[in-house]
Amino acid sequence: MIIDDGDAGFTSGGDYFASGAVAYRGFDSQKINIGQTGTASWDFTGLVAGTYQVSATWNGHPARDTNVDYNVTSSGAGGGAIAINQRIAPNDFNDAGSNWEILGTVTIGAGGTITVTLNDTAVDGSILADAIRIERTGPLQATTSVINSGAPVLTQADLNSVRDAALNYWTSAGISATELERLQSISFVLADLPDAMLGGATSTTIMIDVNAAGHGWFVDDTPFDHSEFTQDADGGLVANEDSDAFGRMDLLTVVMHEFGHTLGHGDLDADEAGHDLMSESLGESLRRLPVIEEAADTSDVDDFFSSIVDGDNPLLD
């Protein structure tokens, strides 16, 4: 859902005026110049319950302000203030012909509201008020959250390596060329996600928490052999106590889970899902692999992943 300046749900006041700058839907953004003050807001109402990704677009230009104060509020939890340098073009993902920057995530109940506000004075450049986009995510939650853990922050290089492994797993699971292309088009963004949220997926983006909700990430250098894990009596993969995976959240599992949302698989109730990859929550020291029960013929997929658990992984051939 997108609200552009001029759409229902958008209001502006103070010194904002219609600008001819390049913008979402052409040349119709609102603007204030250096020394001017104004307020712009985008109000989304009557929303379905869930966790939403909130993003903004603007036309980056050397004459823009370097410290633009967006504030995301809602009827639920999450959001907050974020300072944006509008000289730099948004670059988290592309949708509807524009590039977008993620401002944050919020979680709301049924009939909830999300409001984004720009209330600022232009100091070292002009400020644009253009379009705001929200989209419900498929969030994966940690079973517990950790406060002030000091867990290291994930690097983009580590995330990229695990993304490539996750693509290999889904490819070997038998997804179509079109589905693979869809996964390859997804943008990954590292973000400080709220509370116990490990990751979230929209139609364009997968967000990964910077430190696994305080637990820290296990980044597997050998993602195809599962040597750090042992199969328990219920068929799940549990990290060995002497491995680096023990006490951490498995990044490979989370990336594969969010790819599952991109492919159209929904979350499963944690009390009923067992070790299914699409369980709505994940505990420390656990690894999960795709088993696509919704597919018309799952025998090949199930045999493939059973062979991995048994130690015979064709991805290593």
CATH number at residue 249: 3.40.390
Domain boundary (98, 117, 136) is at: 136
Q: Using a CB cutoff of 8 Å and minimum separation of 24, what contacts does 186-192 make?
A: 186/259, 186/262, 187/92, 187/93, 187/94, 188/159, 188/160, 188/163, 189/92, 189/93, 189/102, 190/154, 190/156, 190/159, 191/102, 191/104, 191/105
CA atoms of 117 and 114, how far apart (whole Å): 10
Biggest CA–CA distance in the chain, Å, is 67
Domain identity same for 73 and 149: no
Domain identity same for 92 and 220: no
Domain identity same for 164 and 308: yes
- Its domain, for residue 132, covers 2-136
Domain boundary (75, 104, 136) is at: 136
Structure tokens, 213: 């909700």
- What residue has token string 């002030």? 148
Domain identity same for 80 and 209: no
Domain identity same for 199 and 240: yes
Domain identity same for 166 and 250: yes
Domain boundary (95, 113, 136) is at: 136
Ordered per-residue pLDDT tens for the chain, 317 residues: 999 998 999 999 999 999 877 777 776 789 999 999 999 999 999 999 999 999 999 999 999 999 999 999 999 988 999 999 999 999 999 998 899 999 999 999 999 999 999 988 999 999 999 999 999 998 899 998 776 667 889 999 999 999 999 999 999 888 999 999 999 999 999 988 888 999 999 989 999 999 999 999 999 999 998 899 999 888 889 999 999 999 999 999 999 999 999 999 989 888 888 889 999 999 999 999 986 444 434 444 444 444 444 445 544 44
Domain identity same for 89 and 171: no
Sheet holding 237-239, edge to edge: 229-231, 237-239, 286-287
**CATH no. for residue 33?**
2.60.120.260
Residue 159 · residue 188 · CB < 8 Å = yes
Domain identity same for 166 and 86: no
Domain identity same for 123 and 268: no
Domain identity same for 81 and 165: no
For β-strands 281-282 and 229-231, DSSP reports them as unpaired
Task: Name the domain count of the chain.
Answer: 2
